[in-house]
């Protein structure tokens, strides 16, 4: 596991928590920010996966 994978997963979890808090508190802005943060985390984690795959193939 590399740094991007770890940081991506952390951002994804934080985003999910924010999104859930937004739903519970009926705060659309918080819900949207959480959703964005979650998706950014997924992208970063995917980038880390790609780096690992490239490293493994060399």
**What proportion of the chain, given as a percentage, has pLDDT over 90?**
95
Q: What is the per-residue pLDDT for 58?
A: 85
The answer to whether residues 16 and 48 touch, using CB atoms and an 8 Å cutoff, is: no
Which two structure tokens, joined as six digits, stand for 21? 């808090």
Using pLDDT thresholds of 50, 70 and 90, give the confidence band for residue 47.
very high
The answer to whether residues 48 and 3 touch, using CB atoms and an 8 Å cutoff, is: yes
pLDDT of 51 > 90? The answer is yes
pLDDT of 53 > 90? The answer is yes
For the segment 35-50, the average pLDDT, to the nearest whole number, is 97
């Amino acid at each position: 596991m590399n740094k991007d994978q770890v940081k991506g997963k952390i951002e994804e979890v934080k985003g999910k928590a924010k999104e859930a808090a937004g739903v519970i508190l009926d705060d659309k802005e918080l819900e949207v920010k959480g959703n964005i943060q979650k998706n950014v985390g997924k992208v970063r984690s995917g980038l880390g996966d790609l780096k690992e795959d490239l490293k493994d193939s060399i």
